[in-house]
Structure 1
Amino acid sequence: MNHPLKNILLIIIFVTSFSCSKRNLVYFSDLDPEAGASFPITSKSEPRIQADDLLSITVTSLNPESNMLFNAGVIIPAEGNNTTISAPINENYLVDKDGYINYPVIGQIKLEGYTKQEAVKRMVDLLDEYVKDPIINIRFMNFKVTVIGEVQQPNSFVIPTEKITVLEALGLAGDMTAYGKRENVLIIREKDGVRTANRLNLNNKDVLNSEFFYLQQNDIIYVEPYKTKAIQADNNPRTFALISSGLTLAVILFLNFRDIFTR
């Protein structure tokens, strides 16, 4: 083999050895494949009502008039008798920036910071003087998570069950592509007026105990791409010029060091 061809092969091996690295595409790859594992569920936290949440609040009791009144209905007395005709209005309650909803008869009620169970108890206490033994149901109407980045189908997803894990959210988005960084998934969350950003390593089983394994309303999941994908996506000629210059510099350095050590 002549010297020029040998040099080219050596350069290719040199550059390849530094540019390629083994990637782990397996979720929870540190789990024992035979013994498995069990984890107590300690990371799940119930979602709390926040500003800008949209709540559905329904009241049920033995009094139909009260039901219609507190379910945002309009009560119209019928002529000639004591019965009523009700025209229900499908209305949800927006939590304002100060954490209040504007509820019929009662007016302003602060629900920000409450779980659904705590909010139900508060509503029952407030309605007790108007309705006997009310049954109140509260639901989030805008419980959604957003998955973006290196996934098959980036989108925002409304979650009717109000319970979802990061794995389920990735499943809704069609899972990560082969270029997604499984060891560095970013979760962006807003809570109590503070926005936080935390990273999860989905190659590691310890993520199952993370407080971010279960998602909260309005969480954003960002899957970062590997550099190889970024290079592929960049059509800027300057990028290729920089890569070419880098390879040229690597060749020159390699040849100089080779000549030094082979003299």
Structure 2
Amino acid sequence: MQKAKKVALLIILIVLSSCVSKKNITYFQFDTIDQSKVSNSYKTILKPDDILQISVSAINLEATKPFNLPVVSFSSSSGNPNGSPQQQTYLIDSDGYIDFPVIGSLKIGGLTRQEAVKLIKSKLDPDYIKKPTVNIRIVNYSITILGDVKNPGTYTIPNERITILEAIGLAGDLKITGKRNTVKVFREIGGKKTQFNVDLRSNKIFTSPVYYLQQNDLVYVDPNKASSQDAAFNRNTGLFISIGSILLSLINILTR
């Protein structure tokens, strides 16, 4: 009878548990890196809902003032400004336009940063400012990492340049139960959400179109089957114990 009980317990343990193979968790374990396809260049594409900070400078500082409008909040009681002035920001609307001082409506959605800078310069020089310097920064540049990682969340990226590996590092890496072979990246392209699948076990990740993430990209890591089963087990622990007790009782009766 004791032997039968041990066999039953072993069967239950096998059903409720599984082991994780090393080949499923090790990064960069197969495929060679095709150096001809590796590119270290990255261009930021401006998109709708980006909030931009645009600064204009030149030798004639007085001429740049209309294009560097400060934002100031005023006290309702005294009418005096509160705090230090902040630089004006510009929201790219759904059609890709911003409303820039003096010049008016500019379509910069879909342009790279360099192209947007060139466009604004062409509008300023020579009618308003000679040889202006234009700088554009995305204030709300962020990426989101969800799923089976240690620290899921939305992360602001100050330098506007991040790889998927750096993003995973920000999130504290995948948990041991995270699926390395089907990491999903969701990106908006032409107004439509597009899904990319990345295999972290392969060196092909270095030539993936989503190796460099873009603003508002969503990275999602699926839990593996064992983790999903474990979650179900935790929710139904009492049920499993009851089933185990019934099995043991049946074996006990049948082996008498």
Please state if 1:39 is matched with 2:35.
Answer: yes
Deviations 1:184-224 (A, max 9, x none): 11101112201011110000111111101110000011111
Deviations 1:164-200 (A, max 9, x none): 1000001111111111111111101112201011110
Contact 1:43 / 1:209 at 8 angstroms: preserved in 2? no
TM-score, structure 1 as length reference = 0.76
Larger Rg: 1
Of 108, 118, 122, which residue of structure 1 is paired with 2:115? 118
Closer/same/farther in 2, CA of residues 19 and 102 from structure 1, 3 Å limit: same
Closer/same/farther in 2, CA of residues 158 and 5 from structure 1, 3 Å limit: closer
CA–CA separation in structure 2 for the residues paired with 1:154 and 1:97: 28
Contact 1:44 / 1:214 at 8 angstroms: preserved in 2? no
CA–CA separation in structure 2 for the residues paired with 1:227 and 1:100: 46
CA–CA separation in structure 2 for the residues paired with 1:2 and 1:58: 80
CA–CA separation in structure 1 for the residues paired with 2:101 and 2:238: 61
Deviations 1:25-52 (A, max 9, x none): 11101268xxxx5734238541211100
State the number of aligned residues: 232
CA–CA separation in structure 2 for the residues paired with 1:187 and 1:243: 41
- Name the structure 2 match of 1:213: 211
The percent of aligned pairs where both chains have the same amino acid is 40
TM-score, structure 2 as length reference = 0.78
CA–CA separation in structure 2 for the residues paired with 1:199 and 1:106: 42
Unmatched tracts of structure 2, length 5 or more: 72-83, 252-256
Contact 2:70 / 2:88 at 8 angstroms: preserved in 1? no
How far the C-alpha of 1:21 sits from its partner, in A, is 5.5
Secondary structure at the counterpart of residue 55 of structure 2: strand
- Name the structure 2 match of 1:104: 101
Secondary structure at the counterpart of residue 229 of structure 1: helix
Of 43, 48, 60, which residue of structure 1 is paired with 2:45? 48
Contact 1:185 / 1:221 at 8 angstroms: preserved in 2? yes
How far the C-alpha of 1:155 sits from its partner, in A, is 1.5
Secondary structure at the counterpart of residue 225 of structure 1: coil
Aligned residues: CA RMSD: 3.3
Contact 1:44 / 1:211 at 8 angstroms: preserved in 2? no
CA–CA separation in structure 2 for the residues paired with 1:243 and 1:31: 48
Please state if 1:145 is matched with 2:131.
Answer: no
CA–CA separation in structure 1 for the residues paired with 2:4 and 2:220: 46
Unmatched tracts of structure 1, length 5 or more: 75-86, 253-263
Secondary structure at the counterpart of residue 156 of structure 1: strand
Contact 1:102 / 1:109 at 8 angstroms: preserved in 2? yes
Closer/same/farther in 2, CA of residues 195 and 13 from structure 1, 3 Å limit: closer
CA–CA separation in structure 2 for the residues paired with 1:174 and 1:181: 15
Please state if 1:62 is matched with 2:65.
Answer: no
Contact 1:68 / 1:88 at 8 angstroms: preserved in 2? no
> Residue type of the partner of 1:224?
D
> Residue type of the partner of 1:185?
V
Closer/same/farther in 2, CA of residues 168 and 126 from structure 1, 3 Å limit: same
Please state if 1:172 is matched with 2:170.
Answer: yes
> Residue type of the partner of 2:63?
S
- Name the structure 2 match of 1:236: 235
> Residue type of the partner of 1:22?
S
Segment of structure 1 superposing worse, 226-235 or 61-70: 226-235
Contact 2:31 / 2:204 at 8 angstroms: preserved in 1? no
How far the C-alpha of 1:90 sits from its partner, in A, is 1.4
Closer/same/farther in 2, CA of residues 152 and 20 from structure 1, 3 Å limit: closer
How far the C-alpha of 1:15 sits from its partner, in A, is 4.8
